[in-house]
A and B are shown apart, each in its own frame.
Chain A
Amino acid sequence: MRTAIPKSALVLALLAAAALPAFAAGAEDDYKAAYAAAEAANKEAAKLRNQWTTTASTLAAAKKAAEAGEFDKATASAKEAEALAKASIFQATSEKTRWRDMEIR
């Protein structure tokens, strides 16, 4: 009696199984890198005394997802937090000159 599973499929399955932890580790590394970048940008914003509340809450959401093992979701949140932090930096630097546009003279 011949088994229904072809040898190639078996090899592929074994390779995939071996690769899975590697992928998972990759996802966690991606998250860690994204989180670190977001935190660094938020620290920059803190130096400019212009952090956003949503940056902090998005970072917290990223951390929470990571703790639950949802690394893709965590990385997405971390990247969003970085974007928010960078936007707050841009706001602080551009407002240094643009605030005069609003001034009553």
Chain B
Amino acid sequence: MRLRSAIYLASAAAAFAALSLAGALPSGAADKVDPVADAKAFKKFFTDKFPKVKLEDFVNGPYSMNEDLYRQWQEKEQFPPYEFSLEMGKEMFSKPFKNGKTYADCFPNGGIGIRQNYPIFDDKEGKVITLELALNRCREANGEQPYSYVKDEMAALTAYMAFTSRGKPMDIKIPDDPRALAAYENGKEYFYTRRGQLNFSCATCHVQSPGERIRAEILAPALGIVNAMPIYRSEWSGMGTTSRRFVTCNSQIRGVPLSPQDDEYRNVEYYLSYVSNGLPISGPGARP
């Protein structure tokens, strides 16, 4: 009798242990964070799904998903709708602050041709710094008021900086620092997590359904999606920042948005940019 209960107890313990192990695996706590493998798998997923699209063309979003849209876009690019915003951005970038300094003093290479390096992991702060954040910090460091992350001024500035980097391959670095890897992983988690009453994750549209329609719009693939930022959207009748897009995507799926430049947003931009390394900067972009 005692032996039997001992056997029951042992088998119960073994079953419990097996269940716990099985429970632990899906959470991936035991998996090592491997951005290099992730990026490779990410690119393979999209190139397999769209074998006729050249790798560098993924940065054109919906235009590489639909021939008719592509034709219309090519025509528009001859005389792009973002010209006014781009000009405004160039003027803003060159205009000195009240203290005489300029944005060029805050950035390597005077801020020209460096957009492809952002977001950057700052090891002093232990956090991801996006281009938008860096621009506002530059302003504040020089006694100026920061710009709204979702309005025209920030959009124009980042449009100009993106323009000076057009064609350059995205070049995001993840240093061998557990905090950087954690930020990357957090961004990845954000990207795939479903949210809002509509229960969509970023992946629901941009991984599961690129090339398909949501209402009247054609969805862009996640590969290269940030390479075109900021974007002039016909829907907005103007240039909009990455922050604006994150916020509006959240509210569109009925999720209360976070604040622009909150950790999760910075991290998801970090993740999306890293897995698109090597693809050219195409910003500022024009979108429907």
Residues of A with Cβ closer than 8 Å to B? Answer: 49-54, 56, 84, 87-88, 91-92, 95-100, 102-105
B197 within 8 Å of A by Cβ?
A: yes
Contacts of B28 in A (CB 8 A): 100
What residue in chain B is nearest A46 (Cβ atoms)? B256
Docked-complex contact B197 and A54, CB < 8 angstroms = yes
Given contacts A87-B197, A99-B189, 11 further A-B contacts (CB under 8 A): A51-B255, A52-B255, A53-B254, A54-B254, A97-B26, A100-B28, A102-B201, A102-B207, A103-B192, A103-B203, A105-B38
What residue in chain A is nearest B264 (Cβ atoms)? A49
B173 within 8 Å of A by Cβ?
A: no
- What mask results when residues 187 to 204 of chain B are scored 1 for a CB within 8 Å of chain A, else 0? 011001111110101011
Rounded to whole Å, the gap between the CB of A100 and the closest CB of chain B is 6
B251 within 8 Å of A by Cβ?
A: yes
The answer for the CA separation of A99 and B194 in the assembled complex, in Å, is 7
Contacts of A50 in B (CB 8 A): 195, 255
The answer for the CA separation of A52 and B42 in the assembled complex, in Å, is 30
Rounded to whole Å, the gap between the CB of B3 and the closest CB of chain A is 39
Q: Given that A84-B197, A105-B41 are known contacts, is A56 also in contact with B192, CB under 8 Å in the complex?
A: no
B258 within 8 Å of A by Cβ?
A: yes
The answer for the CA separation of A105 and B40 in the assembled complex, in Å, is 9
Q: Which 9 A-B pairs have the closest CB atoms?
A: A51-B256, A99-B192, A102-B192, A99-B193, A52-B197, A102-B203, A95-B193, A53-B254, A104-B45
The answer for the CA separation of A103 and B259 in the assembled complex, in Å, is 25
> Which of A52, A99, A104 is B196 in contact with, Cβ under 8 Å?
A52
Contacts of A56 in B (CB 8 A): 256
Docked-complex contact B199 and A91, CB < 8 angstroms = yes
Docked-complex contact B255 and A53, CB < 8 angstroms = yes
What residue in chain B is nearest A103 (Cβ atoms)? B192
Contacts of A105 in B (CB 8 A): 38, 41
Can you list 9 A-B pairs with a CB-CB distance of less than 8 A?
A: A52-B254, A52-B255, A53-B197, A53-B251, A54-B197, A88-B197, A91-B199, A95-B194, A104-B42
Docked-complex contact A100 and B256, CB < 8 angstroms = no
Rounded to whole Å, the gap between the CB of A78 and the closest CB of chain B is 17
Contacts of B264 in A (CB 8 A): 49
> Which of B188, B201, B207, B256 is A53 in contact with, Cβ under 8 Å?
B256
The answer for the CA separation of A98 and B38 in the assembled complex, in Å, is 18
What residue in chain B is nearest A57 (Cβ atoms)? B254
Contacts of B189 in A (CB 8 A): 99
Q: Given that A53-B255, A53-B256 are known contacts, is A103 also in contact with B196, CB under 8 Å in the complex?
A: no
> Which of B45, B195, B208 is A95 in contact with, Cβ under 8 Å?
B195
Query: Which one of A54, A98, A100 has the greatest number of beta carbons of chain B within 10 Å?
Result: A100
Rounded to whole Å, the gap between the CB of A101 and the closest CB of chain B is 8
B27 within 8 Å of A by Cβ?
A: yes
The answer for the CA separation of A91 and B195 in the assembled complex, in Å, is 7
Contacts of B197 in A (CB 8 A): 52-54, 84, 87-88
Query: Which one of B26, B45, B254 has the greatest number of beta carbons of chain A within 10 Å?
Result: B254
Rounded to whole Å, the gap between the CB of B23 and the closest CB of chain A is 9
Contacts of B256 in A (CB 8 A): 51-53, 56
Rounded to whole Å, the gap between the CB of A55 and the closest CB of chain B is 8
Docked-complex contact B188 and A103, CB < 8 angstroms = yes
The answer for the CA separation of A97 and B258 in the assembled complex, in Å, is 21
Contacts of B201 in A (CB 8 A): 99, 102
